[in-house]
Amino acid sequence: MTLTARRAARPLLIAAALAAGTSLLSACAPLVVGAAAGGTALVATDRRTAGVQLEDQNIGFKVESNMRRHFGDTARINASAYQTKVLLTGEAPNETVKQQASEIAGKVENVTHVYNQLNIGPVSSAEARTNDTWLGTKVRTALINTKGVPSRTLTVTVERGVVYLQGKVTRLEGDYASAAAANVSGVKQVVRLLDVMTPEEERALAESQKNPGSQKSQAAPITNGSEPAQEAAPQTLPSSGVEVMPIQ
């Protein structure tokens, strides 16, 4: 096979591997409800506003930076923020460092809650972290392929085979997502750190899905190039400046 052919075939092989991985399902892993309060690009299908998405990114960066400054190589601490709630995963050498990590994260501006899921012990091996990365890929693929799961508004973190789900969902969506993740081969446990929508928010979401056209911006004017162009009427921008797009 030529070099060009091998390069062309590589994406197909990767896609096939992902599909095969997600089809190898084991018995359901146990579910743990961590909270049920009634990729890093800013995407339109995320149920957070663009401002909150950016704030969450900044929070995650600041928390991890502060952890490295305080603990150096003695601990491995990752931070994932959703709706200003921070999840800490990784390893701390002892209980004191674990407690200090919570305090450091809680002092970062705009952080409203800290979920400390650090393990006490030595830093995990590169092999274990590689396995977690692969497992995360399989879980995300399973969520994408599960009907009724708003995968683009969910954040998946995997640590030692334990899957942590963050996101803003309806109760039913959360159940579907948890079941899909729990059935992925290799998952030991699923911990839900989900913001469950209120009945009012669910009704608003359902209404927006029934009338998707109401959320589209006004189309640009179309003119005939052979005729004199008419001056377009000024458009009034929405006062909020941010539009929340529901998952379709």
Closest CA to 98 of 117, 112, 111, 83: 117
Q: Predicted confidence band at 129 (pLDDT cuts at 50, 70, 90)?
A: very high
Q: Which of 10-24, 182-196, 233-247 has the lowest mean pLDDT?
A: 233-247
Chain centroid to Cα 239, Å, comes to: 28
Output the furthest CA–CA distance in the chain (Å, rounded): 76
In this prediction, residues 108-120 reach a mean pLDDT of: 98
Which tokens belong to 147?
Answer: 């009907």
Strand partners, 33: 192
- pLDDT tens digits along 154-171: 999 999 999 999 999 999
* Claim: this prediction has a pTM higher than 0.75: no
Strands (E), 38-172: 76-82, 85-92, 113-116, 119-120, 154-159, 162-169
Strand partners, 91: 76, 119
Q: Predicted confidence band at 31 (pLDDT cuts at 50, 70, 90)?
A: low
Q: Where do the structural domains in the chain lie, given as residue ranges?
A: 28-201
pLDDT value, residue 246: 34
Q: How does DSSP classify residue 40?
A: -
Has residue 143 got a pLDDT over 70?
yes
pLDDT value, residue 213: 55
- pLDDT tens digits along 49-104: 999 999 999 999 999 999 999 999 999 999 999 999 999 999 999 999 999 999 99
Has residue 114 got a pLDDT over 50?
yes
Q: How far apart, in whole angstroms, are the C-alpha atoms of residue 105 and residue 66?
A: 8
| CATH number, span 28-201 | 3.30.1340.30
Has residue 193 got a pLDDT over 90?
yes
Q: How far apart, in whole angstroms, are the C-alpha atoms of residue 187 and residue 140?
A: 12
Q: How far apart, in whole angstroms, are the C-alpha atoms of residue 45 and residue 243?
A: 10
- Mean pLDDT, the chain, rounded, equals 79
Which tokens belong to 4?
Answer: 């060009």
CB distance 144 to 132 below 8 Å: no
pLDDT value, residue 2: 52
Radius of gyration from C-alpha coordinates of the chain: 22
